[in-house]
A and B are shown apart, each in its own frame.
Chain A
């Protein structure tokens, strides 16, 4: 059993600053949880608190149901993979991987067997006698993983393990980590600032900012219903377009004015948005919800003056300035064959179904029922 429970855990420093504040989280045994957030948000600090490398100033931490407050890392039976891999440079790959078992005084035969097994699993058998300096970045990362796997810990803590890899290798290792998790079935806490890792790898995402947990949920749920504008813009590239808007009652329904266009709110959202009639809101439009043509009669036009087109091959990211009212920059994901000249005025079509409205004062999402 390797559930991890954080009960109002905080870490304050001598100067009064908080690394982590009132983190309340329950991670189930075998779950793959991603900690996502910008630099300095406290995700690595939280990881180190779970590992025991730092001690919390308040709150309780349990691993496998056991209170581990004050317990040193070596007694917590967790394995950490660091961003820098932290391979012992004076030891060979074999010695690196054997170190943990050697510290626990395992018999030599058992150490050899487990090291060979893990090396085989990770494709490292040919490199066992090399020193870390003679390995590529990807190989070093596998050694760091192998060192963790050999110990058979109750949980794996990964601190941005893919950050130092190039894009292609990162994509490969993402898949390898997912397969490894399925095979080993252990609890994994993975810290990253990469949204793709967050969306594709985790059972749940924990979004952090300024030491606090902002939102916890399944990746697609958090994507569909971000708790506030920060989560909405952080969890996508290009980020969600946030435009000033105004809600008005219109007969039985509700409309939202943005720029020079008016969008009828979907019927499922009317009860939630009706109290906001006559008030300013922040309107969230995902770039993928802007289309080249009105695929449905409910789509509404949005006129843009093209500022830039990023042709990625698979699609075009089009950036334009809204024409009416307060001019704002908007990004749209369009078909790779769509084209226009810089400075041209084009009309894109807004799909109103996935629209998001946020309270302009608290920046929090105005809750409404999900689509379908």
Chain B
């Protein structure tokens, strides 16, 4: 009887959690006229998706998001890895440096977006994909440093000592031993950075223009003065979430591996 009650409770909670995203999926697959009806799935159409790409240039914005998110991660990771290693192994800058890195994450985005805009405008980086890439790389860098510092601290220092006794310099030990061994952690950090960049809205809104917007900005633009084009918004949301679902599956495996890393030896 208790198990029945437990299962019933879990089913209710699951429905509460899963219903909204599933309903969004449903709304994206029905004609716009039936968006607000309560029928589960009267007909299935991909017109909303087609219209998104045809009349709203969604394809271009999607590509911008992919380029900016991937680019910012690829730009930030080398800096994050080397800084994280310096913090983990050599305590570079002591507790002060670590705090300063963490402190930048404490600033609300709204407080820094306008100074960043002013600076980017001066150097001509507004309304550009490279500009947004650089901004995201800088925004996510402290977070990535912190994650990678944790992973590097979990790698036994014996490995680097063995490499240095074998003839490697400190840099050689990092490049040949620490980096390959910490690839799962670096991959996990990269995917997290990708997700953060992909979902970011405020900086994209301020720093991009009509041709350089990203998916979150494009979705917001579907809320027009004539009302919310809910069918297209739903289609856009499904497309926006798809890479994150894939990324989350990928990261799940590496997060577990990364978290249990240091405990094995």
Contacts and interface: CB of A to CB of B under 8 A. Distances in A.
Contacts of A78: 165
B164 A53 contact: yes
B39 interface: no
Contact of B161 (A86, A89, A100, A147): A86
Contacts of A84: 156, 158, 265
Interface stretch (B112-120, B167-175, B218-226, B245-253): B167-175
B255 interface: no
A54 to B, nearest CB: 10
Interface in B34-92: none
A73 B165 contact: yes
B168 A103 contact: yes
A73 B166 CA distance: 8
A120 interface: no
Interface in B136-175: 156, 158-159, 161-169, 172
Contacts of B265: 84
A interface bracket (residues with beta carbon within 8 Å of B): 20 to 34
A76 to B, nearest CB: 8
Nearest to A157: B165
A113 interface: no
Interface string A77-93: 01110111011111000
B181 interface: yes
B177 interface: yes
A79 to B, nearest CB: 6
A104 interface: yes
B227 interface: no
Contacts, number: 58
Nearest to B159: A86
B210 interface: no
A324 B162 CA distance: 57
B180 interface: yes
A88 B167 contact: no
A83 B163 CA distance: 15
A151 interface: yes
A38 interface: no
Interface string A84-116: 101111100000000110011000000000000
Contacts of B162: 80, 82, 86-88, 147
Contact of A80 (B156, B165, B168): B165
Given A88-B177, A89-B181, A103-B172, A82 B158 contact: yes
A292 B195 CA distance: 77
B177 A53 contact: no
Contact of A53 (B159, B165, B167, B169): B165
A158 interface: no
Contacts of A53: 161, 164-165
Contacts of A89: 181
Contacts of A74: 164-169
A147 B166 contact: yes
A48 B177 CA distance: 20
Contacts of B169: 72, 74
A88 B161 contact: no
A265 B23 CA distance: 97
A302 interface: no
Contact of B164 (A72, A87, A88): A72
Given A74-B169, A103-B172, A86 B164 contact: no
20 contacts: A51-B165, A73-B161, A74-B164, A74-B166, A78-B165, A79-B165, A80-B161, A82-B158, A82-B161, A82-B162, A84-B265, A86-B156, A86-B162, A88-B163, A99-B167, A100-B167, A103-B166, A103-B167, A103-B168, A147-B162
Chain A to chain B: the 4 pairs with minimum beta-carbon distance, closest first: A103-B167, A86-B158, A100-B166, A86-B162
Given A79-B165, A88-B162, 13 more contacts: A53-B161, A53-B164, A73-B165, A74-B169, A80-B161, A84-B156, A84-B265, A86-B159, A87-B162, A88-B159, A88-B177, A88-B181, A99-B166
